[in-house]
Amino acid sequence: MQCTRDMVSSGRASPGEAMVAARRVITLSIDPDQCCALANIARSRTEATGRVERARIILAYLGTPSAYGVARQIGVSQQTVMRCLERAAELGVLAALDDRPRAGRDAVITREARAWLVSLACAKPVALGYPHELWTTRLLAAHARNHGPQAGHPSLAKLAQGTVCKLLAAHEIKPHKIRYYAERRDPEFEPKMAEVLCVYREVEMRRAATTERDDAGEIVILSYDEKPGIQAIGNTTPDLPPVPGTHPTTQRDHEYKRHGTVTLMAGIDLLTGTVHALVKDRHRSREFIEFLKILDTAYPTATAIKIILDNHSAHISQETKTWLAAQPDGRFAFVFTPKHGSWLNLVEGFFSKAARSVLRHIRVNSTHELKQRIIEFISDLNRDPVIHRWSYKLDLPL
């Protein structure tokens, strides 16, 4: 809408009348959305003070078409009101809320010095004789002050730590942080991944066939892995239960006692959701063979057992190969995930669930008690098995 204020003309006054100055007309173009935005800014407690003040001036002028009246209402000079209104008419009511760009002082640090500082931040401090693995902004500023002038950049002689932060932020460099990544070291990553995904597709096909005919017992497919290093930690004093009005959470003493660690070896039947598990103190070849014997007992002799697993040394050791060679042909078949491809193994989701539920904040008096509680947790899951499904990239052509 157009907000136009009429001008009071200054003409020849009649006898006995005082001369009246002309009121300047300022036309503001504003729509309902802009008016709502101005109202929100004027009420804001987080906006800059200047923006809030200008929003209040414009809103007050829309209600009272007098620069003098607005100045008295807001508590600013009439010239401030006029400048704000002129900018609003020229740039728009929302653009007029921001300060005009200022020239500012000329940059003291040259472009060459900035480039030198950025290249310095991209190098490791240990290569320059420091014991630090990563730069801190304080160390980087000190090094630039001490060595910058010698490198031909005298503008860095008084470099402040805050200036270093601004320069690094402008170039989007964070030399004080580390982000980890997994280097692809398996040259056959893609074929191995495709083989694993083919197995998951086979699971879906067999699951669909099970609803039509009962021939799923010819083969079972399991996702297997180990979760080592589960700590058996005990309390030194009993936990305090929650008390209404006093402490809403369970209270636990910060001291604890270590009883050792155990390894959870688990395989999920991808067709039925049943979890086969073994909890041992170690996970060597003999423990892995013991787990295979559990599977051998759990399924009929004529059933082929296909297992998705990683390349752990216990899975490919000579002891394991000798035991597998003594089994009937076709009884066991291994499908190995590629190196650094554990995310392809569905059993990792089961381990995540265990870590977030039964193993979370667990306290026991011995490794034996820890083993019992893990087995009880798995037995409880097997009463109502959950079928794990793979969907990511499953529909891509292989």
Whole-model pTM? 0.66
Strand partners, 256: 235
pLDDT above 90 as % of the chain: 71
List the CATH code of the domain at 191-383: 3.30.420.10
pLDDT tens across 109-121, in order? 999 999 999 999 9
Cα distances (angstroms) measured from residue 171 to each of 121, 124, 134? 11, 17, 18
pLDDT at 271: 92
pLDDT higher than threshold 50 for residue 65:
yes
pLDDT band, very low/low/confident/very high, at 358 (cuts 50, 70, 90): very high
Mean of all residue pLDDT scores within the chain: 88
Backbone phi and psi for residue 167, each to the nearest 5 degrees, phi listed first:
-65, -40
Backbone phi and psi for residue 273, each to the nearest 5 degrees, phi listed first:
85, 0
Alpha-helix runs per DSSP H in the chain = 32-43, 49-63, 67-74, 78-91, 111-121, 137-147, 161-170, 189-210, 285-298, 318-325, 347-356, 367-383
Portions of the chain given CATH number 3.30.420.10: 191-383
pLDDT at 67: 87
pLDDT higher than threshold 50 for residue 206:
yes
pLDDT tens across 7-52, in order? 343 444 445 544 444 566 687 888 889 999 999 999 999 999 999 9
Please report, to the nearest 10 degrees, the dihedral formed by the alpha carbons of residues 60, 62, 67, 70 taken in order.
-10
pLDDT at 7: 37
Eight-state DSSP code of residue 243: B
pLDDT tens across 218-269, in order? 899 999 999 999 999 999 999 999 999 888 999 999 999 999 999 999 999 9
What is the side-by-side order of every strand in the sheet holding 332-336?
275-280, 256-269, 219-235, 304-309, 332-336
